[in-house]
Structure 1
Amino acid sequence: MTAADMLAEARKWLGTSGRPNPLTRAYAARNGSEYLRVAWCDIAVTEWARRSGNAAAVLPAGDRAYTVWHAQDFQRIGRWYPGTVANVNRAKPGDIVFFDWGRSNSIGAIDHVGVVEKVLGGGRVQTIEGNTGDRCLRRVRSADVIAGYGRPAYGVSGQRQEEEEEVPIRTSLGKTKPQDLAWGKWTRITWDVEHADPEGAHADGNYPGYIAPETSWADFHATVRVEGLQPGDEYQLRYEVHDWSGGKSTGNPWTEIHADHPATRGVQFVTGSCSKKLKKGQHAYVAIAVFPVGDTTGRPVPKAVSGRWTIRQDKP
């Protein structure tokens, strides 16, 4: 089936209001009566998918009422796009779009979900959403509240998906070895575990980053656990992209900071997402800097103790 079928089904339900309603009743009949009166935004997406013949594409792990798990389903199969302005401008009708009213790109903070009906440009999309004010309505949403979106594999099923879709290049790097950070300086994070890694995409040795195997857009999402902070310390995460020649950077890398916050506890999960068009052979890195709230005399430097960096790069 197709995205057009998914949207046609969603449009049938515009104006639906209250709970229980026919969508929650159908979901509860399969999954339990406790779903009759719950928040029903993802229940609506589930029912539209099932009724339009798109369950396999829209629901990779089956029925969903909890938006966080639904987004994680897309992330696990490499079909998740963080909600940057650039990504939102590349959304397509039928994409499943997730929202965080706290204005982050964190999957764990997702509050709501809908279906993209139209891409408006300027980081905005028109959506159809269930349970928006307890009704099914069209909305216009912008990238500041879009945590990201999942792209269903419409019209493709089973083994044909990998053969017929433009499968992205997926890399997932992990960190298990503690690493000292430095006060007021950038420290390049080392990645010592390859959860998934195309041949030649992981820069080993002294340059533990990502080497772009193609020229195309890439989505980065990194989370690093930092220990040894004190409330009030500042931390920053940035991405670096270097041109590379003769085994080293040519200098003047592109950089962009994607976390800049005060610590509220001794352990912080430092997270940042971005999109960047890479050229084949460029090297990309994650770096973290920490800034103390007071005197550091006798105080150990914080450590980056674990983490995960996922890179999803389009096929050219």
Structure 2
Amino acid sequence: MAKHRLTAVSKSTIARAVLGAGVLASAFGVPAAAHADTSTAVAAATAAKHPATALAAHKASERDETKITATADQVLAVARAQVGVSENASGGGTKFQQWYANSQRAAETVARDGGSRAAYLNAAWCSMFVSWVGEQTGARPQVGWDAWTVAHAKWFAANQRFGHEAKPGAVVFFSWKGGKSLSDIQHVGFVVKDNHDGTISTIEGNTGNGKVEERVRPKSQVVGYGYPEYAG
């Protein structure tokens, strides 16, 4: 196979291309390092010689990455299909924890919070459950992913997608004592519907029974809602 030659492209041009790929990737929770490879350098060479073509390709790629295909109903269907999944006696053993512990996001949150990937295997998993459902439905860029409920809520808030209206498919954040600050959040799940009687119906992982369950919760325990940008 022929090797690409990059002698015509300056190091600074390649560096800028790598940085641009990293910025785009970080918007989706993907570390820049995962994109700083030889293919990026090759793309930089192409951009230097054919800027119009490169710009068109970049826009097409951006559209592909941000394309929203999952609906609220599809996300809720996948969440509901997990009802009954239970943790083991150690508080672990679920596929949600195993997936998260092996994800790139786990490496990022270990760097942020300390600990190790293995610690997630027996950690509280309500937010991992929500993240896993997003991954399975292709809605992770809209649902977000984290193991810490507070950080998950702050991600929605930082993207101007946090509010106080119960909507089907919304990600609901709870404080059992009724606190209304993001720092009070203790639990998370999906909204199925607003029952219009002061309660909401939900699907949650890591309930008090250590399972995925459908629940009815009082709105007085809700801190707020994250709104994934669904299709349809």
TM-score of the superposed pair, with normalisation by structure 1? 0.45
Name the one with the larger helix percent: 2
Match of 2:229 in 1: 153
Matched, 1:110 2:185: yes
What is the aligned counterpart of 2:93 among 20, 24, 35?
20
Q: Deviations over 1:77-97 (max 9, x none)?
A: 111114xxxx3xxx2110000
The residue aligned with 1:66 is 148
Identify unmatched segments of 5+ residues in structure 2.
Answer: 1-69, 107-116
TM-fit CA distance, 1:122: 2.3
Q: Secondary structure at the match of 2:195?
A: strand
CA distance, structure 1, for counterparts of residue 218 and residue 193 of structure 2: 12
The CA distance in 1 between the partners of 2:198 and 2:179, in whole Å, is 15
* Alpha-carbon distance in structure 1 between the residues aligned to 2:182 and 2:214: 23
Deviation at 1:12, TM superposition (A): 1.2
In the TM superposition, 1:1-316 aligns within 5 A as 1-18=70-87, 19-30=92-103, 31=106, 32-59=117-144, 63-82=145-164, 87=165, 91-133=166-208, 134-155=210-231
Q: Secondary structure at the match of 1:97?
A: strand
| CA–CA separation in structure 2 for the residues paired with 1:21 and 1:107 | 27
| 2: CA distance, partners of 1:11 / 1:143 | 21
Q: Report the Cα distance in structure 1 between the residues aligned to 2:231 and 2:156, rounded to whole angstroms.
A: 16
In the TM superposition, what is the alpha-carbon distance from 1:124 to its structure 2 partner? 1.3
Partner amino acid for 1:14?
A: V
4+ runs deviating over 4 angstroms: none
Q: Distance in 2 between matches of 1:72 and 1:38?
A: 20
Q: Distance in 2 between matches of 1:94 and 1:45?
A: 11
**2:158 aligned partner, one-letter code:** R
Q: Secondary structure at the match of 1:36?
A: helix
For residue 129 of structure 1, report the CA deviation from its aligned partner: 0.3
CA distance in 2, matches of 1:80, 1:106: 12
CA distance in 1, matches of 2:226, 2:186: 15
**Structure 2 Cα separation of the partners of residues 29 and 116 of structure 1:** 27
Q: CA deviation at 1:140?
A: 0.5
Distance 2:162 2:95 in 1: 29
Q: TM-score when scaled to structure 2?
A: 0.61
Letter in 1 for 2:169: G
Q: CA RMSD in A?
A: 1.2
One-letter identity of the residue aligned with 2:181: S
Q: Which residue of 2 aligns with 1:209?
A: none
Q: 1:118 & 1:144 partners in 2: Cα distance?
A: 16
